[in-house]
Amino acid sequence: MTSDGVGLWGRTAPPAPDTAPLDREGEASVAVIGAGYTGLSAALHLARAGVDVVVLEAGAIGGGASGRNVGLVNAGLWLPPQELIARAGPRHGAALLDCLGRAPAEVWRIIAEEEIACEASPIGTLHCAPDRKGLTALQARAAQWQAHGVALELLAAPETRARLGSDRFLGALCDPRAGTLQPLAYARGLARAALARGARIHTDSAVRQLAPLSSGGWELVCPQARLRAGQVILASDCAPGAPRIEMASEQVILPYFNLATDPLPDALRAHVLPSQQGAWDTRKLLTSWRLDAAGRFIIGSVGQLGAADGAIHRAWARRQMRRLYPALAGQRFTEGWWGRIGMTRDALPRFHQPAPGLWAVSGYNGRGIAPGTVFGRLLAELCLGQISVEAMPLPLSPPRPVLLRALRGLALRSGAAALHLISGHARQ
């Protein structure tokens, strides 16, 4: 079992396309830093437009959050529509809601257009209420989307039970726009599509320095070579080693882990998530769960599978799996992995232009598959001059580092471990 890396997704994704480090001086119209969804979507859209684009990735394609996540392709952000608009302001809030509401459709369309094999399952997701408070929150969320012309399905307890195969919930909100995919396979598929259209991707090519050129444009310094580019898209999000640390430093790191069983026997598959829809609950310390295409049960929550807390989270996940599905009591976890979710102060993503020709969007707060895809395209359109800064659904803002960032991250990590240590024992 791996406690780091991309875990199960690395085992079941199609192989990564062949790439190599940047090892000679080069030039590009646009350089993209980071091969996650944001960078790869930007590269794909630039390459589709015939632009000479080079992606520089510190590690492997999808080696950051994009290859480690749960694979829930959701519409909007974690914030319910009203709160999103209240925080982002009426103009940007309405634009952001509209843009991210349509974002899953864009993911499904790209997957179809580029024939990406990534276990795409656009059959909706289930946001599940284990208690009255959760149910009220889901009712409010459904009403708020309805006010924006989007009909979600609010399921009563019997229908929720039928779809989940679990009787632990009072109701659920089904979002038909959403679905699941194999996250690393999607990232590798985007990379393959970008390469096929002429983009160049260099892996193991960490950008150590980013300097403006007196002649205009930028110089990107990698360990073995340099690249000159007219414009640069910073798509390194909160990953460690991001070249402009001020952008990563406005996000507090929330670790999130996943544990997966081997494929479930057919007799169990009929009763565990019979609807095949990915699910998560309304609790603050949430549980997510889903099946992959082979029928592995994947359960996740906040926490890091490190030496100190890994055993606590694994024990909690076994208890929680049994609570949701007593029939899974005998199942063992054979894969485990975790990643970093970047959380901004107000749970909204950020759009920056730190200098002319340098663009960045980051901070999806755990909702990055569809938003990363869409913002990658929008960053490409900005570089192409097809849209203006004013057309972006986010305001341009200066990076504002979070005070005591490391300490806050540590508090989230330890808080999750403490809660998982005590949670579930009484309810066995």
Binding to ligand FAD (CB under 6 A) within 314-343 occurs at 339-341
Q: Which of 26, 34, 124, 130 binds ligand FAD (CB under 6 A)?
A: 34
Residue 57 or 325: which CB sits closer to ligand FAD?
57
Q: Which stretch binds ligand FAD (CB under 6 A): 91-99, 137-145, 230-238, 306-314?
A: 230-238
Residue 108 or 256: which CB sits closer to ligand FAD?
256
Q: How far is the CB of 132 from ligand FAD (least distance, A)?
A: 26
The span from the first CA to the last CA of the chain, in angstroms, equals 26
Q: Is the distance from CB of 37 to CB of 376 less than 8 angstroms?
A: yes
Residue 8 or 170: which CB sits closer to ligand FAD?
8
Q: Is the distance from CB of 203 to CB of 59 less than 8 angstroms?
A: yes
Instruction: Give the phi and the psi of residue 360 in degrees, each rounded to 5.
Output: -155, 140
Binding mask 178-197 for ligand FAD (x = CB under 6 A): --------------------
Note whether 207 binds ligand FAD by CB under 6 A. Answer: yes
**Residue whose entry in the numeric block shows the structure tokens 């570089």:** 383
Coil, helix or strand at residue 184: helix
Q: Which stretch binds ligand FAD (CB under 6 A): 67-75, 124-132, 304-312, 415-423?
A: 67-75
Q: Which of 19, 74, 125, 182 binds ligand FAD (CB under 6 A)?
A: 74
Q: How far is the CB of 334 from ligand FAD (least distance, A)?
A: 18
Binding to ligand FAD (CB under 6 A) within 250-289 occurs at 256
Residue 37 or 297: which CB sits closer to ligand FAD?
37
Rounded Cα–Cα distance for residues 353 and 362 (Å): 12
- Report angle CA 366, 369, 370 to the nearest 5 degrees: 115
Note whether 202 binds ligand FAD by CB under 6 A. Answer: no
DSSP letter for 391, please. G
Note whether 36 binds ligand FAD by CB under 6 A. Answer: yes
Rounded Cα–Cα distance for residues 295 and 260 (Å): 10
Q: Which of 30, 33, 138, 173 binds ligand FAD (CB under 6 A)?
A: 33
Beta strands in 153-251 (DSSP E): 153-156, 171-175, 179-180, 200-202, 209-212, 218-221, 226-234
Note whether 236 binds ligand FAD by CB under 6 A. Answer: yes
Closest CA to 35 of 163, 154, 271, 202: 202
Could you give the angle at which helices 37-48 and 369-383 cross, rounded to 10 degrees?
40
Note whether 344 binds ligand FAD by CB under 6 A. Answer: no
Note whether 200 binds ligand FAD by CB under 6 A. Answer: no
Q: How many residues sit close enough to ligand FAD to count as binding (CB under 6 A)?
A: 40
Which H or E run contains 361?
A: strand 358-362
Note whether 64 binds ligand FAD by CB under 6 A. Answer: yes
Q: How far is the CB of 270 from ligand FAD (least distance, A)?
A: 25
CB-based contacts of 303: which residues, under 8 Å, 6+ apart?
A: 255, 256, 257, 309, 312, 313, 338, 413, 416, 417, 420
Instruction: Give the phi and the psi of residue 130 in degrees, each rounded to 5.
Output: -85, -10
Q: Which stretch binds ligand FAD (CB under 6 A): 50-58, 99-107, 124-132, 304-312?
A: 50-58
Binding mask 362-391 for ligand FAD (x = CB under 6 A): --x-xxxx--x-------------------
In the bound complex, which residue of the shown chain has the CB atom lying closest to ligand FAD?
A: 368
Note whether 80 binds ligand FAD by CB under 6 A. Answer: no
Note whether 26 binds ligand FAD by CB under 6 A. Answer: no
Note whether 118 binds ligand FAD by CB under 6 A. Answer: no
Token pair for 254: 């929330």
Bin 408: left if φ > 0, else alpha if -120 < ψ < 50, else beta. alpha
Instruction: Give the phi and the psi of residue 394 in degrees, each rounded to 5.
Output: -130, 145
Residue 63 or 171: which CB sits closer to ligand FAD?
63
Give residues in contact with ligand FAD (CB under 6 A): 33-39, 56-59, 63-66, 68-72, 74, 206-207, 235-237, 239, 241-243, 256, 339-341, 364, 366-369, 372
